[in-house]
Amino acid sequence: MIRRFLAVLHARNLEFIRDRSALGWNIILPVLIVLGMWFLFSGGQKPLFTVAVFSGNTPFTGLHEAFLQTRYIHFYSIDNLPAAIRKVGHDQIDMVLDLHRRAKLRYWVNESSPKGYILEKLLNGEKGTRYTRASVSGRAIRYVDWLVPGVLGMNMMFSCLFGVGYVIVRYRKNGFLKRLNATPLKAIEFIAAQVASRLILIMLITVAVYIGTDLLVGFYMSGSYLALLLTAVLGAASMISLGLLIAARVASEELAGGLLNLLSWPMMLLSGVWFSLAGTYPWLRHAAQILPLTQLLEAARAVMLDGAGVVQILPHLLALAAMSFGFLALGALSFKWKND
Amino acid sequence: MLGPNGAGKTTTVEIMEGITPATRGTVHYRGEPMGPRFRSEVGIQFQSTALQDFLTVRETLHLFRNFYPCGMPLEELAKLCALEDYLDRDARKLSGGQRQRLLLALALVNDPKVLFLDEPTTGLDPQARHNFWDLARAIKARGKTVILTTHYMEEAYLLCDRIIIMDRGRIIAEGKPASLMAHHFQDAILQLPHEDFRPARDALTEKVMNVGEYVEIFTADINATIELLLSHQVSLAHLQIRARTLEDLFLELTGRELRA
Which chain B residue is nearest to residue A17, measuring alpha carbons? B54
Query: Greater confidence, B185 or B61?
Result: B61
- Domain end: A133, A158, A185, which one? A133
CB proximity B74 to A under 8 Å: no
Strands B240-243 vs B188-193: parallel, antiparallel or unpaired: antiparallel
Q: What is the pLDDT of residue B6?
A: 82
Do A17 and A77 fall within a single domain? no
Three-state DSSP at A251 gives coil
Q: How many CB atoms lie within 10 A of CB B87?
A: 16
Selected residues 86-125 of chain B with any CB under 8 Å from a CB in chain A: 106
**pTM, entire model:** 0.72
Q: Give the strand pairing for B214-219 and B207-211.
A: antiparallel
Give the span between the Cα atoms of B118 and B14, in whole angstroms.
Answer: 9
- CA dist list (Å): B36 to A333, B103, B105: 19, 23, 22
Residues of A with Cβ-Cβ distance to B63 under 8 angstroms:
7-8, 10-11
- Same domain (yes/no): A229, A318: yes
Structural domain ending residue among the three candidates A99, A133, A167: A133
In this structure, the answer to whether residues A212 and A281 fall within a common structural domain is yes
What pLDDT is recorded for position B260? 43
Put simply, the answer to whether A182 touches B19 (Cβ < 8 Å) is yes
B248 falls in which pLDDT band (50, 70, 90)?
Answer: confident
Q: In chain B, where are the structural domains located?
A: 9-181, 186-243
The tens digit of pLDDT for each residue in B16-44 reads: 998 888 999 999 998 888 888 888 899 99
Looking at the structure of chain A, the number of domains it has is 2
The alpha carbon of A299 is separated from its chain's Cα centroid by a whole number of angstroms, namely 7
Residue A339 lies in a domain: no
Angle ∠(B100,B102,B103) on CA atoms, nearest 5: 65
> How far is the alpha carbon of B185 from chain A, nearest alpha carbon, in Å?
40
Rg, C-alpha atoms of chain A = 24
Contact B54 A7 (CB under 8 A): no
State residue B206's pLDDT score. 85
Rounded to whole angstroms, the maximal C-alpha distance in chain B is: 73
Rounded Cα gap, residues B255 and B241, in angstroms = 23
Query: Range of A125's domain?
Result: 49-133
A48 and A72 Cβ atoms separated by less than 8 Å: yes
Q: Which residues in chain B are closer than 8 Å to A178, comparing Cβ atoms?
A: 19, 46, 49
pLDDT for position A56: 79
Q: DSSP readout, A91-128? A: TSSSEEEE-SSTTS-EEEEBTT-HHHHHHHHHHHHSSS
What is the distance of C-alpha A35 from the center of its chain? 18
Examine the domain organization and report whether A182 and A70 are in the same domain.
Answer: no
pLDDT for B148 equals 93
Contacts with A171 from chain B: Cβ below 8 Å: 50, 52
Q: Which residue of chain A has the CA closest to B116?
A: A182
In whole angstroms, what is the distance from residue B243 CA to residue B218 CA? 10
Task: List the single residue in A with minimal CA-CA distance to B109.
Answer: A183
pLDDT of residue A103: 73
From CA A75, how far away is CA A171, in angstroms rounded?
Answer: 56
Listed residues A133, A160, A195: the one ending a domain: A133
B186-243 matches B9-181 in CATH topology: no
A176 → closest Cβ in B40, B50, B54: B50
For residues A160 and A214, state if they share a domain: yes
Q: A274 and A217 in one domain? A: yes
Asked whether the beta carbons of residue A19 and residue B39 sit closer than 8 angstroms, the reply is no
Task: Quickly name the fold that domain B9-181 has.
Answer: Rossmann fold (3.40.50)
* CB-CB under 8 Å, A184 with B49: no
- Quick one: pLDDT at residue A303? 93
Residues 6+ apart with CB under 8 A from B59: A11, A14
Nearest CA in chain A to B51: A176
B5 min Cα distance to partner chain A (Å) = 19
Is B17 at the interface with chain A, CB within 8 A? yes
Asked if residue A299 and residue A261 are part of one domain, the reply reads yes
Contact B55/A at CB under 8 A: yes
Is A164 in the same domain as A120?
A: no
Q: Are residues A128 and A251 in the same domain?
A: no
Which residue on chain B is closest to A12 by alpha carbon? Answer: B52
pLDDT reported for residue A44: 47
- Chain A contact for B53 (CB, 8 A cutoff): yes
pLDDT digits (tens, 9 = 90+) for A142-172: 777 888 899 889 989 998 988 888 888 988 8
Is residue B256 scored above 80 in pLDDT?
no
- Concatenated DSSP letters of B62-123: HHHHTTSSS---HHHHHHHTT-GGGTTSBGGG--HHHHHHHHHHHHHTT--SEEEEESTTTT
Rounded CA-CA distance A96/A84 in Å is 7
Which segments of chain A have a pLDDT < 50? 44-47
A340 belongs to a structural domain:
no
Which residues in chain B have their CB less than 8 angstroms from residue A19's CB? Answer: 53-54
In DSSP terms, which residues pair with B210 in a beta bridge? B215
Q: How many CB pairs under 8 A join A and B?
A: 63
State the SS3 of A301-329. HHHHHHCCCCCCCHHHHHHHHHHHHHHHH
Write out chain A residues lying below 8 Å of B62, CB-based.
7
Inspect the interface and report whether the beta carbons of B63 and A7 lie closer than 8 Å: yes
A-chain CB neighbours of B51 within 8 Å are: 176, 179
Please report residues of A whose CB lies closer than 8 A to that of B48.
Answer: 175
Task: Check residue A47 and give its pLDDT.
Answer: 44
- Assess B186–A contact: CB distance below 8 Å, yes or no: no
Q: A27 and A70 share a domain?
A: no
Is the confidence at residue B160, as pLDDT, over 60?
yes
A164 to A149, A208, A247, A265, A311: CA distances (angstroms): 22, 20, 8, 17, 31
Name the residue of chain B whose CA is nearest to A6's CA. Answer: B66
Domain B186-243: assigned CATH number: 3.30.70
CA A269 to chain centre: 11
Nearest chain B residue to A19 by CA: give it. B54
Q: What is the CATH number of the domain that holds A127?
A: 3.40.190
pLDDT at A274: 81
Q: Output the CA–CA distances (angstroms, integers) from residue B112 to A281, B44, B73, B77, B171, in the order listed.
A: 64, 9, 13, 12, 26
Instruction: For residue A71, give the DSSP letter.
Output: T
In 10 A of CB A184, how many CB atoms? 17
Q: What per-residue confidence (pLDDT) applies to B48?
A: 78
Q: Is the dihedral of CA A288, A289, A293, A297 positive or negative?
A: positive
| Domain co-membership, A121 together with A146 | no
Provide, as residue numbers in chain B, all residues whose Cβ is less than 8 Å from the Cβ of A185. 67
Q: Identify the residue among B41, B52, B68 best suited for mutation to test binding to A, counting A beta carbons within 10 A and taking the highest.
A: B52
**Interface touch B66/A3, C-beta < 8 Å:** yes
Rg of chain B over Cα atoms, rounded to whole angstroms, equals 23
Residues A295 and A239 grouped into a single domain: yes
